[in-house]
Amino acid sequence: MGLYDARIEKFSKKVEQLERNIKRDTEERRRLLSEIDRLRYLSLCEKLNCQGEELETVLAREHEQIQNMKARGMTDDEIDHLGKGGNDGKYEDQMSFYSEEDDDENKNA
Q: What percent of the chain has pLDDT over 70?
A: 78
87 Cβ contact partners less than 8 Å away, ≥ 6 residues apart: 81
Handedness of CA 49, 54, 56, 62 (dihedral sign): negative
Amino acid at 3: L
The answer to whether the beta carbons of residues 81 and 88 sit under 8 Å apart is yes
What confidence category does residue 2 fall into, taking pLDDT thresholds of 50, 70 and 90?
Answer: confident
Give the integer Cα–Cα distance in Å for 70 and 66: 6
Nearest to 44 by CA among 63, 59, 30: 59
Higher-pLDDT residue of 52 and 101 is 52
Nearest to 55 by CA among 35, 36, 75, 41: 41
Amino acid at 59: L
The answer to whether the beta carbons of residues 40 and 51 sit under 8 Å apart is no
66 Cβ contact partners less than 8 Å away, ≥ 6 residues apart: 79
- Reported as a single tens digit per residue, the pLDDT across 15-24 is 999 999 999 9
- Reported as a single tens digit per residue, the pLDDT across 29-79 is 999 999 999 999 999 999 999 999 999 999 999 999 999 999 999 999 999
Instruction: Please give the pLDDT value at position 1.
Output: 72
